[in-house]
Amino acid sequence: MSGLANEPSTRGDVSEKSPSTVEESVQTGPTKGVRTPSGLRLDIRLTILIGVLAALCAVGYILSPETFLGESNISIMLRLAAAIGVVSVGMTFVIISGGIDLSVGSMVALASVWMTTLATQEYGLFVMVICALAVGLGAGLINGVLISYGKVVPFIATLAMYASARGLAERLSGRQTQTVSEQGFLEFFRGDVLGIPVLIWMLALVFAVGWVVLNRTTFGRRTFAVGGNAEAARLAGINVRLHTALVYGIAGLCCGIAAIMVVARTTSGSSTNGMFYELDAIAAVVIGGTLLSGGRGTLIGTLIGVLIFTVVNSIFTQNNLDTATQNIAKGVIIVAAVLLQTASARTRKTAKT
Amino acid sequence: MSEPGDVLLTMSGIVKTFPGVRALDGVDLEVRAGEVHCLLGQNGAGKSTLIKVLAGAHQPDEGVITWRGEPATLGSPVAALKMGVATMYQELDLVEGLSVAENIFLGHEPATFGFTNRRSANNQTRKLMARLGHPEIPPSREVGLLSAAGQQLVSMARALVHDARLIVMDEPTAALAADEVDNLFRVVEDLTDDGVAVVYISHRLEEIRRIGDRVTVLKDGRTVGTNMPADTPTSELVNLMSGRQVETVFPHRDVSTVDEDNELLRVENLSRGGEFEHVSFTVRAGEIVGIAGLVGAGRSEVLETVYGARKSDTGSVWVNGKRLKPGSVMAAVAAGIGLAPEERKSQGLLLDQSVANNVTLASLPEYSRLGFTDQRRELKDSRATLERLDLRPADPRREVRTLSGGNQQKAVVARWLVRGTKVLLLDEPTRGVDVGARAELYRLIHELAATGVAVLLVSSEVPEVLGLSDRVLVMREGRVLTEAPAGELTEAAILDMVMEGSEVMA
């Protein structure tokens, strides 16, 4: 990942030291980069990921040349990717901070149900939106407080939320699908702005805000610090517990946003929404090059990871292939991504004197 | 079996390059059976790379290795071990949850039809531990429960069980107290009497004088002096290592920098169960106070409790006249205390991140506006601080991992400098730092004091405490035995106090 260390700084700022070429090569490792003539550093792994995405698009185009790259198919693909993409943004924060969140799918389900109860719908569009955000944020913060102040291992705390949030969603909905009758909500979230669907705008916005927070704010810096070395962060005076709790809050908030998107797409809320989102999100984050051990990662990588899965999905549905094969393909992609990651970690280790 | 004095291993013209770095650039080394061959050199001189070549973990690009006169290749760690070369790394590679015997036989457990033969392993372990002078360590004891010295013995037993003819020891005394060092040296002497050769890496010249037979000095990946007698004068060794004249290691200090009336840190009657009790002292602006004592005397614990990383049971800490909330690092940092922790890598640094990110870690609010980081100013201030501290290379974008130990320590100090910290706690500031870089750190600590910083220093090396400090606290078993100006104490007096338990009670 190149995120923090060298994105803004390398631009045009060629080191004053004369043997800079030597130093560059020492510090590379996973940041192994190439300097383009414009001075922008391209992460090699990111380049590979973009290449994979392009290759998959090419495959899709060859298999169904009329439709695959058509405007409607791209729009369909992105709308399907939108909710999982937003969830993956929150997941990226959690994983960079050294944690894991298994409860994202259940939180999406809970928020989608809570915002579509008859009682909530009565209050109209804004209350529905705020309800979803509050439910997501609240559930996320419960995760965070359990983990940071209750000292429960993230895997266990979010596993508990995974079970109980979906249970609560079932209880609230009576396992019934709750149709949205609030027209204002449907009109806005199913509509277009400047010819682009609102869902895609939301995806773009969440990624943009997430990128800025992660790479340009002290909050993002602390997220990397907590995940890279929590003890060093603590001894530098950073409130590691509070920060950890907030990171899980962000993940929950993203689930709230994703719930709004799912409800808009399916025009209903259901306790079965968000099934397997945790697996898809973790897979996208890992494919994107974020280390599961924390301290390193990029949102750009996560975005490409999400898009790769979306394109694979689309190729399979367009060609009427079964989902079993699709799942096998996904598994192969995950393994290939992790192998790539360990291979670059190895080059990094040997480069150490 | 080789006789003592026979040449066991030779390395000549060893070259090892990594992308962009020539880590070894022509190393020659000759080790004879039964000798303790010391390897000296600054951090970054290539010692660790050479150790890894010896261990079979790195393959040299050029050069010839012979073993008992025959050309040899150390193709892998297993091959090296089979040939008879065992390596004890500084950070011991033991499995803490397994027993002593299980660790010693890890990977080659005596077994019948796949079932481990615990009795045989335990018996052999008992013999090995007796040979190493510690028959009281039971084979079934969990390694994680042993002291650092005990774990080192297990590591050594593991080398012996492979019938190693050459044992590489990388700073084996770094984590040991004085009596444990004595035991280690006795074991080393026993081994060499049996014809085992030891390649001994240490930054402590007095150890090399005590047990070394010959010395090889590395600099910039090259052998600059080899097969020198262990009693080669210090100045000559230091000159070879650094390439520059080191007159005195401790710079002259002008005590008048102490501001008598400006008491920045006051510690009153601080106690923490089982660790230390009734510790009281003060540090004034511009003053350096050192805490001497053996490992386990409670020195680091006092430092961490002052800093809030541990919570005191009783007593109070005052900074600049204000009482600190106990057990809160954030309160301590906000009040102007900074800590350079004992374990630089695991407690101090974000190794994968840039120097700049590490330097500003404790001052993020100062380097941000409305939560957004001001990266331009971060880089500018970091670079200025790196230049002030003479941290090389002064490139704030470089990953901290790639810096040498001394420069990593400077990065930690830089973190508190950019924050304008007034009370600096230094825990073993020169651990794992080579002689040349040590002198620089000493100079730096004096300069900080001269600018009015109150420094509280913990070091296992008595001369360091004496040479650097204005006042010295001597601790033993959690108690402050004495407090005196450094000028009134001698190394012998302090050693006598911490080891023999003199009657001088504070």
Residue from A229, A250, A298, A350 to probe the interface with B (highest B Cβ count within 10 Å): A229
Contacts of A6 in chain B (CB under 8 A): 354, 397
Residue A256 to residues A137, A173, A281, B117, B220, Cα–Cα distance (Å): 7, 17, 15, 58, 57
The residues, any chain, with a CB within 8 Å of residue B74's CB and separated by 6 or more, are: B53, B54, B55, B56, B59, B65, B80, B83, B85
How far A224 CA lies from chain B's nearest CA (Å)? 9
The residues, any chain, with a CB within 8 Å of residue B504's CB and separated by 6 or more, are: B481, B482, B497
CB pair distance less than 8 Å for B402 and A27: yes
Would you say residue A77 lies in a domain?
no
How many structural domains are present in chain A? Answer: 1
How far B95 CA lies from chain A's nearest CA (Å)? 20
The residues, any chain, with a CB within 8 Å of residue A234's CB and separated by 6 or more, are: A240, B309, B329
User: Looking at chain A, which residue has its C-alpha nearest residue B395?
Assistant: A15
* Residue B349 touches partner A, C-beta closer than 8 Å: yes
Q: How confident is the model at residue B21 (pLDDT cuts 50, 70, 90)?
A: low
For residue A13, the model assigns a pLDDT of 37
Would you say residue A74 lies in a domain?
no
**Domain containing A93: what range?**
22-63+82-346
User: Looking at chain B, which residue has its C-alpha nearest residue A23?
Assistant: B20
| Orientation angle between helical segments A299-318 and A71-96, nearest 10 degrees | 140
Which bin fits B44, alpha (ψ -120 to 50), beta or left (φ > 0)?
left
Indicate the DSSP class of residue B29: E
Least confident of A18-22, B103-107, B225-229, B269-273: A18-22
| Among the four given CATH numbers 3.40.50.1220, 3.90.1150.10, 3.40.640.10, 3.40.50.300, the one describing domain B7-242 | 3.40.50.300
Q: Would the pLDDT of B378 be above 80? A: yes
Cα pseudo-dihedral A348, A349, A350, A352, rounded to 10: 90
Q: Which residues of A touch B (CB under 8 A)?
A: 4-6, 8-10, 15, 17, 21-29, 31, 216-222, 224-225, 228-229, 231-239, 295-296, 350-353
- Cα–Cα distance measured from residue A309 to residue B170, given in angstroms and rounded to the nearest whole number: 48
Q: Would the pLDDT of B32 be above 90? A: yes
For residue B207, the model assigns a pLDDT of 81
The residues, any chain, with a CB within 8 Å of residue B419's CB and separated by 6 or more, are: B333, B338, B362, B363, B366
For residue A51, the model assigns a pLDDT of 85
Residue from A15, A213, A216, A218 to probe the interface with B (highest B Cβ count within 10 Å): A218
For residue A21, the model assigns a pLDDT of 35
State the burial class of residue A83 (Cβ atoms within 10 Å of its Cβ: 0-12, 13-18, 19+): buried
User: Looking at chain A, which residue has its C-alpha nearest residue B23?
Assistant: A353
User: Looking at chain A, which residue has its C-alpha nearest residue B413?
Assistant: A236
Of B21, B48, B364, the CB nearest to A218: B364
* Residue B348 touches partner A, C-beta closer than 8 Å: yes
Q: Would the pLDDT of A72 be above 50? A: yes
CB pairs under 8 A between A and B: 132
How far B49 CA lies from chain A's nearest CA (Å)? 6
The residues, any chain, with a CB within 8 Å of residue B35's CB and separated by 6 or more, are: B4, B5, B192, B197, B198, B213, B214
CB pair distance less than 8 Å for B357 and A224: yes
Q: Are B299 and B341 in contact (CB under 8 A)?
A: no
- Cα–Cα distance measured from residue A77 to residue A126, given in angstroms and rounded to the nearest whole number: 27
* Residue B18 touches partner A, C-beta closer than 8 Å: yes
The 10s digit of each residue's pLDDT in A94-127 is: 999 999 999 999 999 999 999 998 788 788 888 9
For residue B247, the model assigns a pLDDT of 38
3-state secondary structure of A177: coil
For residue A1, the model assigns a pLDDT of 37
Of A29, A217, A228, the CB nearest to B371: A217
**What residues does each domain of chain B span?**
7-242, 262-336+423-428+452-506, 344-421
Q: Would the pLDDT of B246 be above 50? A: no
**Between A320 and B157, where is the model more confident?**
B157
Residue from B345, B373, B380, B418 to probe the interface with A (highest A Cβ count within 10 Å): B373
Least confident of A162-166, B293-297, B420-424: B293-297
Would you say residue A351 lies in a domain?
no
Q: Would the pLDDT of B203 be above 70? A: no
How far B485 CA lies from chain A's nearest CA (Å)? 30
Q: Would the pLDDT of B294 be above 50? A: yes
For residue A352, the model assigns a pLDDT of 42
- Cα–Cα distance measured from residue A264 to residue A262, given in angstroms and rounded to the nearest whole number: 5
Least confident of B4-8, B172-176, B212-216, B289-293: B172-176
Mean pLDDT of chain A: 82
Q: Would the pLDDT of B92 be above 80? A: no
Q: Would the pLDDT of B58 be above 80? A: yes
How far A238 CA lies from chain B's nearest CA (Å)? 7
Of B19, B357, B364, the CB nearest to A351: B19
Q: What φ, ψ does residue B65 adopt, rounded to 5°?
A: -120, 130
Report, as an integer, the average pLDDT of A191-209: 91
Architecture of the CATH domain B262-336+423-428+452-506:
3-Layer(aba) Sandwich (3.40)
Contacts of A31 in chain B (CB under 8 A): 399
* Residue B46 touches partner A, C-beta closer than 8 Å: yes
Q: How does strand B337-340 pair with strand B222-229?
A: unpaired
Mean pLDDT of chain B: 84
* Residue B369 touches partner A, C-beta closer than 8 Å: no
How far B367 CA lies from chain A's nearest CA (Å)? 8
- Cα–Cα distance measured from residue B402 to residue B366, given in angstroms and rounded to the nearest whole number: 27
Q: Check which CATH number belongs to the domain holding A305 and give it.
A: 1.10.3470
* Residue B351 touches partner A, C-beta closer than 8 Å: yes
The residues, any chain, with a CB within 8 Å of residue B414's CB and separated by 6 or more, are: B355, B359, B382, B385, B386, B389, B391
How far A68 CA lies from chain B's nearest CA (Å)? 41
Q: Would the pLDDT of B390 be above 50? A: yes
Contacts of A231 in chain B (CB under 8 A): 346-347
Of A8, A9, A17, the CB nearest to B393: A17
- Cα–Cα distance measured from residue A261 to residue B13, given in angstroms and rounded to the nearest whole number: 66
The 10s digit of each residue's pLDDT in B403-454 is: 888 889 899 999 998 898 999 999 998 876 776 778 888 888 988 898 899 9
* Nearest of B68, B73, B57, B84 to residue B162 by alpha carbon: B84
Contacts of A214 in chain B (CB under 8 A): none
CB pair distance less than 8 Å for B352 and A232: no
The 10s digit of each residue's pLDDT in A141-154 is: 999 999 999 999 99
CB pair distance less than 8 Å for A353 and B48: yes
Indicate the DSSP class of residue B336: T
Of A217, A232, A237, the CB nearest to B350: A232
Q: Are B378 and B367 in contact (CB under 8 A)?
A: yes
- Beta bridge partners of residue B283, listed in sequence order: B265
How far B458 CA lies from chain A's nearest CA (Å)? 17
Q: ipTM above 0.90?
A: no
Highest mean pLDDT among A283-287, B203-207, B367-371: A283-287
The 10s digit of each residue's pLDDT in B63-82 is: 999 999 899 888 888 888 88
**Between B62 and B180, where is the model more confident?**
B62
Of B309, B372, B398, the CB nearest to A217: B372
Q: How confident is the model at residue A15 (pLDDT cuts 50, 70, 90)?
A: very low
* Residue B330 touches partner A, C-beta closer than 8 Å: yes
Contacts of B334 in chain A (CB under 8 A): 237
Contacts of B397 in chain A (CB under 8 A): 5-6, 9-10, 15, 27
The 10s digit of each residue's pLDDT in B248-287 is: 467 666 666 787 888 999 999 999 988 899 999 999 999 9
Q: Which two tokens stand for residue B122?
A: 């335990």
CB pair distance less than 8 Å for B19 and A26: yes
Q: How confident is the model at residue A37 (pLDDT cuts 50, 70, 90)?
A: very low
* Residue B336 touches partner A, C-beta closer than 8 Å: no
Q: How confident is the model at residue A38 (pLDDT cuts 50, 70, 90)?
A: very low
Would you say residue A172 lies in a domain?
yes
User: Looking at chain A, which residue has its C-alpha nearest residue B367?
Assistant: A218
The 10s digit of each residue's pLDDT in B103-148 is: 888 877 777 777 777 888 888 899 888 888 888 888 888 888 888 8
* Residue B305 touches partner A, C-beta closer than 8 Å: no
CB pair distance less than 8 Å for B20 and A22: yes
How far A30 CA lies from chain B's nearest CA (Å)? 10
CB pair distance less than 8 Å for A218 and B371: yes
